[in-house]
Amino acid sequence: MGVIKQSRFYDLNIHPLPDCAGSPARLVLEARDMGYSGICLTSFNSDNTFFEHDIPLPPFNDFEIYTGIEIQVERVAKLTKEVNRLRGRADIIIIGGGNEDINRASAENGKVDILAHPAAHGKPLNHVLAKAAADNGVAVDFNMDALIMQRGGSRIKVLTAMRQNLMLARKYTVPMVITSNARSHYDLRGPREMMALAMFLGMTQDEARNALSKVPKGIIKRNTDSNRIMEGVEVAK
């Protein structure tokens, strides 16, 4: 268990105030208490994000706060347009998936960081999408709120789809992330609880740990490193 204590955990999909009820400061405090090293606060509405208002955040030196936008669109053409428009404005670009067309478009778009809740409608990914996501470095999200919040048939559907996604992600080495998709601080779960839930899905402990620590860290580094000019071009120190 020493490995888990040393790991730095990140939750990359938490929705704060303008869209949902939790205030950013409360979410940050709560996440820090639970043992996270950093979170990404994600807004749905790109015109009214929390980081454009001057909302004060608790100043911690040992806690990283990133900004993100979750794009929720119906049409593929709009998705590409929104991604290009918002890429420079937030640290992390997340696509709210579920719809098959949207899943495919985001898996094939190299500018997207995370495809969130791809199994929202109970439909799993397929081998084509998994391969595309692996090639473009789009991380597939396993959102634990679906397992916690839903009941009965819909939960079974999501669980089945997530298991299928896990199988595909293993086969094609797609980066996996586990997020809470929290809409208030009551929805947040600690890293080890999330890992336990993910292991219930069928992930091994190492996979679950990487999905909470290593892969999110890679995504953050890719997007915030100022020495990185583009994919494959880097200014050396």
Partner 1 sequence: MQITPQNLIHHELIGLEASVVHSSNTAQIGIKGKVIDETRNTLRIDVGERLVKIVPKSHTQFMFTIPASDGRRYLPETDTRVQVDGTLLLSQPENRIQSKFKKTIKRRVNI
Cα atoms in the Cβ-side hemisphere of radius 13 Å centred on 176? 26
Enclosing H/E stretch for 116? strand 114-116
Rule CB under 8 A: choose which of 135, 149, 171, 200 binds partner 1.
Answer: 135
User: Which is nearer to partner 1, 27 or 130 (by Cβ)?
Assistant: 130
Q: Residue 137 and residue 140: Cα distance in Å, rounded?
A: 9
Rule CB under 8 A: choose which of 125, 134, 158, 159 binds partner 1.
Answer: 134
User: Which is nearer to partner 1, 43 or 210 (by Cβ)?
Assistant: 210
Query: Rg of the Cα trace of the chain?
Result: 17
Q: Which position has the token pair 């960081």?
A: 113
Binding of residue 127 to partner 1 (CB under 8 A): no
Q: Across the strands, what pairs with 71? A: 95
User: Which is nearer to partner 1, 77 or 235 (by Cβ)?
Assistant: 235
Q: Kindly report the number of other CB atoms within 10 A of residue 153's CB atom.
A: 9
Binding of residue 206 to partner 1 (CB under 8 A): no
User: Which is nearer to partner 1, 89 or 221 (by Cβ)?
Assistant: 221
Q: Kindly report the number of other CB atoms within 10 A of residue 19's CB atom.
A: 16
Q: Residue 30 and residue 130: Cα distance in Å, rounded?
A: 34
Q: Closest distance between partner 1 and the C-beta of residue 56, in Å? A: 32
Using CB under 8 A, count the residues that bind partner 1.
19
Binding of residue 8 to partner 1 (CB under 8 A): no
Q: Residue 192 and residue 141: Cα distance in Å, rounded?
A: 17
C-alpha closest to that of 198 among 163, 236, 168, 155: 163
Binding of residue 224 to partner 1 (CB under 8 A): no
Q: Residue 169 and residue 171: Cα distance in Å, rounded?
A: 5
Binding of residue 219 to partner 1 (CB under 8 A): yes
User: Which is nearer to partner 1, 54 or 231 (by Cβ)?
Assistant: 231
User: Which is nearer to partner 1, 30 or 113 (by Cβ)?
Assistant: 113
Question: In the window 148-167, what residues touch partner 1 (CB under 8 A)?
Answer: none
Contact 13, 94 (CB under 8 A): yes
Binding of residue 80 to partner 1 (CB under 8 A): no
Q: Of 46-54, 120-128, 156-164, 214-222, which part binds partner 1 (CB under 8 A)?
A: 214-222
Which positions lie near partner 1, rule CB under 8 A?
A: 110, 134-137, 139, 175, 215, 218-219, 221-222, 229, 231-236
